[in-house]
């Protein structure tokens, strides 16, 4: 492959860390500088699987814990052909949550192990960079009321944060931790510069496989 593939960059963090705002700003900045960049988000609530997930998150339906976990994973796998195609075309993909949210949220539930939770996502396209927006759950709660969706309470978010910390010890993934307790613009500048470095490195490398 010529040195031109796009980079897969994921933003992770607890709810309210600012991931969606920062993903949008990064895509906009890249496009303004003449690069091809698109945003993806998981869950992608627009697909049939995504609608099942949406109904679960909105507490309109109840699903068994393993079952909903597998649906979140399937919702990523259904986008894999598109992800690979775009990266190979040289489009940078900026992704709001990925398999790490999948594992952190499910494994924060009683009786769900991190190892079991990782398995369905093994082999997904591996992100070239995972930026973890670090914000304490207490500070996140201060940013405004949590919504009414499932998982949106401080105790659960603390458990999720602990699982993220555990996942970040895995050096096979290129994690970078960023202090999210700053202004939107300061955070954006740092995210842009860290992403730029990852894009330069990714350009000449094949797409990796996650957790393999």
Please select the residue that binds ligand NYM; options are 105, 132, 164, 175, rule is CB under 6 A: 105
Contact between 211 and 172 under an 8 Å Cβ cutoff? The reply is: yes
The C-alpha atoms of residue 114 and residue 125 are separated, in whole angstroms, by 19
Is the CB of residue 94 less than 8 Å from the CB of residue 191? no
Tally of residues, the chain: 212
Binder of ligand NYM out of 22, 50, 83, 101 (CB under 6 A): 101
Cis amide leading into 43 (omega within 30): yes
Toward ligand NYM, which CB reaches closer, 43 or 127? 43
Written as six digits, the tokens of 137 are 């759950």
CB 75, min distance to ligand NYM, A: 7
Beta strands 37-41 and 8-12: pairing type?
unpaired
CB of 125 to ligand NYM, least distance (A): 15
CA distances from 164 to 105, 138, 177 (A): 9, 16, 11
x-or-dash string of contact with ligand NYM, 26-65, rule CB under 6 A: ----------------xx-------------x--------
Task: Count residues near ligand NYM (CB under 6 A).
Answer: 10
> Which residue number, 57 or 130, has a Cβ lying nearer to ligand NYM?
57
User: Which residue number, 77 or 90, has a Cβ lying nearer to ligand NYM?
Assistant: 77
For binding to ligand NYM (CB under 6 A), which residues are involved? 15, 42-43, 57, 72, 97, 101-102, 105, 151
């Amino acid at each position: 492959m010529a040195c031109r593939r796009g980079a897969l960059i994921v933003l992770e963090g607890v709810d309210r860390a600012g991931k969606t705002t920062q993903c949008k700003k990064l895509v906009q900045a890249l496009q303004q500088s003449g690069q091809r960049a698109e945003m993806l988000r998981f869950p992608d609530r627009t697909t049939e699987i995504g609608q099942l997930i949406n109904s679960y998150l909105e507490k309109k339906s109840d699903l068994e814990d393993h079952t909903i976990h597998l649906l979140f994973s399937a919702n990523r796998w259904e986008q894999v052909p598109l992800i690979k195609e775009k990266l190979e075309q040289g489009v940078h993909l900026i992704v709001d949550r990925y398999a790490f949210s999948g594992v952190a949220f499910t494994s924060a539930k009683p009786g769900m192990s991190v190892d079991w939770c990782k398995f369905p996502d093994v082999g997904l396209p591996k992100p070239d960079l995972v930026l973890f927006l670090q914000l304490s759950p207490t500070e996140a709660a201060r940013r405004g009321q949590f919504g009414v969706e499932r998982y949106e309470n401080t105790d659960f978010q603390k458990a999720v944060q602990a699982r993220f910390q555990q996942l970040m010890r895995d050096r096979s993934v290129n994690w970078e931790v960023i202090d999210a307790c700053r202004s939107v613009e300061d955070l954006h500048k740092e995210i842009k510069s860290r992403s730029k470095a990852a894009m330069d490195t990714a350009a000449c490398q094949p797409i990796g496989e996650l957790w393999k």
